[in-house]
A and B are shown apart, each in its own frame.
Chain A
Amino acid sequence: MTRMYHRLPVDAYTSQDWFDREQRQIFSRTWRYAGLAEDVPEPGHFISVQAGLNNIFIVMGRDHRLRAFHNICRHRGTQLIRAVGKTQKALTCPYHDWTYDLEGNLISVPDEAKEYPDGIDKSCLGLKPASVDIWRGMLFVHPDPNPPSLVAWFGDIDPLLGPHKPEELVEYPDARRSYEIKANWKIVVENYIDVYHLSHLHSNTLHMYDHARAEYGWQGPHYHFWEPPASDYATELEKNLPTPRVIPEPHIGAWVPMLFPGIGLGAGEDSWNIFILTPLGPELTRVENRTKLANASGWEFQKQEWSSWSFWKDFGGPKYPDGDATGEDDPMASGDFTAEDIYACEQQQKSLTSPYFEVGPAANGESPVVRHQQAILDFFATQQAGT
């Protein structure tokens, strides 16, 4: 009998088959996060991004419109496309210098007459188009040139994501990091959306927010979550915020949605953060974090740091006091909620291969975990219906 972990078989978290299927049917068929809009700031700038099985190339034209193509030279398939020239009007593959215009048309093949004496129909050898759009200051790509609209995909969840305008904020480069968690991507998602664990695993790290008053739910496959500041933090909130506000008063609280698939956001009164998951293998997931803060002067940041100092100086700490820690590097003694989460995910992944693993009943605060598993099944079902 198949061992189950709520709605999904345990296999879904450990097997290469499930990983391959998700890559094919989820990560290669949805809008994927590709970066922040400022990653392609000027005409001629370009990036390429892996989105499921597809590598997609984004370039800005001189009309400031982004174009997206499959990063596959139509000659031998090399993933080498780059924009060149003073005016950046051409895309080229350096392998044999095949050159395309910004609409993807193949415009030149070196030594054409000599190398292709029977002729070559350049009109059939344009770069394959993909799609790109900007939403909430983030770049999204889709492998299909005529994809389902981003409005149809994110339209219903959009009003529940907070009043932030990420395009007006400034990235804080020190907070940018990328790390790997030795766990299936769904384990990481489930940890992100598990409301029950907030007061327990993070009992001494995230208690400036009032988890008991959290409001959360779903719009299609996308999860939304909001919680207000806890009363001691809220009493003098404007004084206690560590950095200047990024949303106008009277908006308060933390918005921590998880968009499908694996696109986490975390936005509060004074910052906007992304938490992007990329499955690397059945038991390995990459996390990319980036943070944006208020577009304010160094002086304003300094003032806010001073005013909030008295709140933060004694705030938080390890989950377990010294006596209960297993050693200096015990994540439970780190006082860092990310270290706590990574530890929980990796330790959970380890037991999934044990023949003795048997999942216990899901708590109320874990209903999002079960609902996310259902979202995976539902997405497969619509994919199957559509093909």
Chain B
Amino acid sequence: MTPNFFSLNVAEIRPEIKGKATSVIFDLPVDLAETFCWQAGQHVTLRFHLNNTEQRRSYTISNSPGAPLRITVKRVAGGLVSNHIGDHLKSGDTVDVMPPFGQFSLTPDPLKRRTHYFFGAGSGITPLFAMINAVLKEEPHSVAHLIYGNADGESIIFAEELHKLASDHATRFTLRHVLSAPSLWSWTSSWRKGRVDAGATKVVVTETPPLAQDVQYWICGPGAMNTDVSNALMALDVPANRIHMESFGGATVTASTVTGIAANAQVELGGATYEVPVAADQTLLNAILSAGLRPPFSCQSGVCGACKARLTKGQVYMHARMALEDSDVTRGDILSCQSVATSDELSISFDN
């Protein structure tokens, strides 16, 4: 992964759900097409200079590969970047964008026959929407089921697009809306009132059991929903390697009592090796940035996976590790933005 930014032109700005979210479509010059090639579910990092400081944010690409490069940004109350995008960004502007990356991705395969269950809430739909489109387009023998939670009918992102997918692919795609505060006057019919939780998860599996037996579960919503759904799946004996998860919006505050110790880290980055001192309870990422190095990073909350490195010696504790699967952790992958040292000698590499 190259940590470089590229200036892209904004081709179109489109307000969604009455301006509470904004879709941004970028022009992709031909010579960047390969660099910006993405898998459904991956995200891009945008860089803005606002109030004299550099701001980086990760947004999921809300289109499947082959369609225009589009992100969909939900406004966060008081959010600096999301409101800047909603209020000021216009077509013709240029934005610094890092090429797509991320481990929460679905690679469709026309020869695979899978049953995909998608559990999402709010803006968590953005990677799922790209994945569902990829499956319906590129995996013709597979089936997709979406369970999508929102407050009410008005706040459903891509409501019309999803409705159209459900009627265009009636035999391969089912759509279930779960609304926590449905309006009496809304046209949206919800499958269930409440939240995408353990109860909903169990009913889904019984109502639409898998036909194709290669079953994959994709979960993308706030931390609490992710935990509920994945726990419910595990309680039904779903093996962990079939569950794929990304935390979105309302990030969980991890109340961690683990504190790190001071350490020396050998850091491999861009083909060179550096000695980096790590202070007690300083994250590896912060230590490396303080040493004047430029490692890849993005969300700094353990969600995006941009700062992933491989630990080859010593031990660290990760406050959060949403972006890693268990198998990644077993291999020694760490998120440098979430890691504090728990042994005094470390070796890590950003290069593999």
A interface with B by C-beta (< 8 Å): 37, 61-66, 89, 101-103, 132-134, 149-152, 155, 167
On whether the beta carbons of A134 and B141 are closer than 8 Å, the reply is no
B112 contacts the other chain (CB 8 A): yes
On whether the beta carbons of A134 and B213 are closer than 8 Å, the reply is yes
Residues of chain B contacted by A89 (CB below 8 angstroms): 237
The 0/1 profile, CB within 8 Å of A marked 1, for residues 113-154 of chain B is 100000000000000000000000000010000000000000
On whether the beta carbons of B113 and A132 are closer than 8 Å, the reply is no
**CB proximity to A under 8 Å, residues B14-39:** none
Q: Name the contact of A134 in the complex, choosing from B212, B233, B237, B239 (C-beta under 8 A).
A: B212
Q: With contacts A149-B113, A152-B111 known, is A65 near B141, CB below 8 A?
A: no
Residues of chain B contacted by A65 (CB below 8 angstroms): 210, 213, 215, 238
**CB proximity to A under 8 Å, residues B205-235:** 205-206, 209-215, 233
Q: Name the contact of B205 in the complex, choosing from A64, A133, A149, A155 (C-beta under 8 A).
A: A64
A-B contact pairs, 30 of them (CB 8 A): A37-B211, A61-B236, A61-B237, A61-B238, A62-B237, A63-B237, A64-B205, A64-B206, A64-B209, A65-B210, A66-B213, A89-B237, A101-B237, A102-B237, A103-B237, A103-B239, A133-B113, A133-B212, A133-B213, A133-B214, A134-B211, A134-B212, A134-B213, A149-B111, A149-B113, A150-B113, A151-B111, A151-B113, A152-B111, A167-B211
Closest CB-CB distance, A32 to chain B, in whole Å? Answer: 15
Closest CB-CB distance, A292 to chain B, in whole Å? Answer: 16
Closest CB-CB distance, B210 to chain A, in whole Å? Answer: 6
How distant is the Cα of A103 from the Cα of B110 in the complex, in angstroms?
27
Q: With contacts A102-B237, A151-B141 known, is A63 near B110, CB below 8 A?
A: no
Residues of chain A contacted by B239 (CB below 8 angstroms): 103
In addition to A65-B210, A150-B113, 11 A-B residue pairs with Cβ atoms within 8 Å of each other are: A62-B236, A63-B205, A63-B215, A63-B238, A64-B210, A65-B213, A133-B113, A151-B111, A151-B112, A151-B141, A152-B111
Minimal Cβ-Cβ distance residue in B for A62: B236
Residues of chain B contacted by A37 (CB below 8 angstroms): 211
How distant is the Cα of A167 from the Cα of B208 in the complex, in angstroms?
13
Residues of chain A contacted by B214 (CB below 8 angstroms): 133
The 5 nearest A-B residue pairs measured at CB: A64-B209, A63-B236, A62-B236, A149-B111, A133-B213
How distant is the Cα of A61 from the Cα of B215 in the complex, in angstroms?
12
Residues of chain A contacted by B210 (CB below 8 angstroms): 64-65
Closest CB-CB distance, A31 to chain B, in whole Å? Answer: 12
**CB proximity to A under 8 Å, residues B161-208:** 205-206
On whether the beta carbons of B237 and A132 are closer than 8 Å, the reply is no
How distant is the Cα of A180 from the Cα of B103 in the complex, in angstroms?
54
How distant is the Cα of A144 from the Cα of B336 in the complex, in angstroms?
40
Minimal Cβ-Cβ distance residue in B for A37: B211
Residues of chain A contacted by B233 (CB below 8 angstroms): 63
How distant is the Cα of A61 from the Cα of B242 in the complex, in angstroms?
14
On whether the beta carbons of B213 and A132 are closer than 8 Å, the reply is yes
How distant is the Cα of A64 from the Cα of B242 in the complex, in angstroms?
14
User: Main secondary structure on chain B at its contact with chain A?
Assistant: loop
Residues of chain B contacted by A61 (CB below 8 angstroms): 236-238
How distant is the Cα of A247 from the Cα of B339 in the complex, in angstroms?
60
Residues of chain A contacted by B111 (CB below 8 angstroms): 149, 151-152, 155
Most chain A Cβ neighbours within 10 Å, of B211, B213, B236: B213
Residues of chain B contacted by A66 (CB below 8 angstroms): 213
Closest CB-CB distance, B241 to chain A, in whole Å? Answer: 10
Minimal Cβ-Cβ distance residue in A for B110: A151
Minimal Cβ-Cβ distance residue in B for A137: B211
On whether the beta carbons of A155 and B141 are closer than 8 Å, the reply is yes
Minimal Cβ-Cβ distance residue in A for B214: A133
How distant is the Cα of A152 from the Cα of B111 in the complex, in angstroms?
6
Closest CB-CB distance, B260 to chain A, in whole Å? Answer: 33
How distant is the Cα of A64 from the Cα of B202 in the complex, in angstroms?
10
Closest CB-CB distance, B116 to chain A, in whole Å? Answer: 13
How distant is the Cα of A150 from the Cα of B213 in the complex, in angstroms?
11
Residues of chain B contacted by A152 (CB below 8 angstroms): 111
Residues of chain B contacted by A133 (CB below 8 angstroms): 113, 212-214
Residues of chain A contacted by B211 (CB below 8 angstroms): 37, 134, 167
How distant is the Cα of A65 from the Cα of B217 in the complex, in angstroms?
12
How distant is the Cα of A149 from the Cα of B214 in the complex, in angstroms?
11
Minimal Cβ-Cβ distance residue in B for A149: B111
Minimal Cβ-Cβ distance residue in B for A67: B213
Minimal Cβ-Cβ distance residue in A for B211: A134
How distant is the Cα of A27 from the Cα of B206 in the complex, in angstroms?
34
Residues of chain A contacted by B141 (CB below 8 angstroms): 151, 155
Minimal Cβ-Cβ distance residue in A for B171: A165
Minimal Cβ-Cβ distance residue in A for B209: A64
Minimal Cβ-Cβ distance residue in A for B235: A62
How distant is the Cα of A221 from the Cα of B209 in the complex, in angstroms?
31
Closest CB-CB distance, B235 to chain A, in whole Å? Answer: 8
Minimal Cβ-Cβ distance residue in A for B207: A64
Residues of chain A contacted by B206 (CB below 8 angstroms): 64
How distant is the Cα of A63 from the Cα of B237 in the complex, in angstroms?
6
Most chain B Cβ neighbours within 10 Å, of A62, A65, A66, A132: A65
How distant is the Cα of A133 from the Cα of B209 in the complex, in angstroms?
13
How distant is the Cα of A134 from the Cα of B210 in the complex, in angstroms?
9
How distant is the Cα of A134 from the Cα of B239 in the complex, in angstroms?
20
Closest CB-CB distance, B347 to chain A, in whole Å? Answer: 29
Minimal Cβ-Cβ distance residue in A for B212: A133
Residues of chain A contacted by B113 (CB below 8 angstroms): 133, 149-151
Minimal Cβ-Cβ distance residue in B for A60: B209
How distant is the Cα of A149 from the Cα of B140 in the complex, in angstroms?
13
How distant is the Cα of A146 from the Cα of B152 in the complex, in angstroms?
43
Minimal Cβ-Cβ distance residue in A for B113: A151
Closest CB-CB distance, B120 to chain A, in whole Å? Answer: 19
Residues of chain A contacted by B215 (CB below 8 angstroms): 63, 65
Minimal Cβ-Cβ distance residue in B for A132: B213
Residues of chain A contacted by B205 (CB below 8 angstroms): 63-64
Closest CB-CB distance, B24 to chain A, in whole Å? Answer: 36
Residues of chain A contacted by B209 (CB below 8 angstroms): 64
How distant is the Cα of A358 from the Cα of B205 in the complex, in angstroms?
59
How distant is the Cα of A103 from the Cα of B241 in the complex, in angstroms?
11
How distant is the Cα of A61 from the Cα of B211 in the complex, in angstroms?
14
Residues of chain B contacted by A103 (CB below 8 angstroms): 237, 239
How distant is the Cα of A155 from the Cα of B111 in the complex, in angstroms?
9
Closest CB-CB distance, A71 to chain B, in whole Å? Answer: 18
Residues of chain A contacted by B112 (CB below 8 angstroms): 149, 151
Closest CB-CB distance, B200 to chain A, in whole Å? Answer: 15
